[in-house]
Structure 1
């Protein structure tokens, strides 16, 4: 048995010296020291030895086991060192080289224009309010003086979820909600996404953005409306911008008007953007209809107000001379980098 122990020791040492990786080393450990390993099997036969031989062979077996273990641990350490050195050589980084500059995104043109418009109206004493995009038909139509058979309520114009719930077609419902919760004086603007059943083309989308405004107080007249919107246009497009109002009809305002301003591209002389008229329509407005005020519990004998609404997408296209609405929704970095 002594000779067998010496043989196991010498053979295992030779095999360990020739290993190339940790997996081979583990296979050798199992081969000699595992539960079914050669050294383990040999030790199970010690019961056949005489009492005099047993301590000597036991001591020798322990020495062989320790030597093999020590050799395995030493080799494992050397393999780890070699692997680390190899990785350090292959993963070398030259810290003297300049780093790669991260590309930062730009603010979307509509976000820039929205922030600019908000700043203009906040500077005139307005506050910004928001509300739900899934709206009740009452707030979207009834409270805004839309008759039961108004064309805007048709299925082909509005995305209905149920008979009483829909995707809002305008941000005006938040004007109603504000008037219900807040007593005059009221000065708010309401930006947000709105939805209408429309085809997708260069100037239309089923989802677009609006900014609406509302002022309710004592003694509010059409002159206040015109003065406020004239200041807004000059702040947005330049001090030389002129405005004019054309009669129109909206269910929730009376009288109603659409506002044009001189083309920011040509200054009013005429160009392809304004179709050579010198004017561009930018919003609709009017005095809040007494029915709308009454629906919100506001005394129409004491208070009056004006409201206006504009398409943020259209305002942005005009400001930056963007010809196709779809460009603003495609997330194309080549387009966005221009702003």
Structure 2
């Protein structure tokens, strides 16, 4: 881990925490943007190098963090991610996956790119968490006590998605739970079963991701979420996921969601503090072919479909413009 890598991680963790708590001196928007999942480290580095100039260009309006998801929760079965099966051939060389993931994250952060990833299990974060600036707990695991315990001990902010059934209460309960210290059994770095004591994590927040029942990015849905958070004594600031339930699983709908959020911000909504977008070098998705990695198209997702690079450039510009308009409203 280089000095630049350490600086990237620590500075961005603080900047993100400031945005979540509404203490950012520029009132910026947190934007988590990147592939649904990383399956090829070279493509991830290519994507990061494209994103870095935009991160610089919009630095006064947007705090851009690269979405760097290495593990994927599956509704049934399927490829579970770079850590689980790095060669995409059912060899499940997890040792190689962990090494590859750590080397990639060290490289990306040394370039100056902060990273966000999903905490899918309680073991693998120990190998990569020192390289992350932001974490997310998915809709399927927000209710899990194991994941809440894990989040309470992480040294960076963590977002909790609403349930797949649309329930906001599971995320609200999780945010409340992780603020407190927890004691539980886990595996120490030496590989021994140990009693872990955490300090609690005060930087939890809600991610609205839609549900099987429909979307929740409109002004009325945001109002309901803010009211529930307020009633629970929590910050009303939320992140909105433009994909998943909010896009109705149609990747191009993310542009419509982002436009709606930009309009709401331009009208003065201060509580939309973050946006999540699934984006890749090339748009769409592909299935893993019989010949494995060799038959894959370059820069195309192997999990959820993503918007392509040109659309990514445009949507970031649109969000930056909305932040400027929101500032004018505030002044």
Give the TM-score range, shorter chain: under 0.3
* TM-score, normalised relative to structure 1: 0.22
Structure index of larger Rg = 1
| Higher RCO (C-alpha under 8 Å, 6+ residues apart) | 2
Q: Which has the higher strand share?
A: 1
* TM-score, normalised relative to structure 2: 0.22
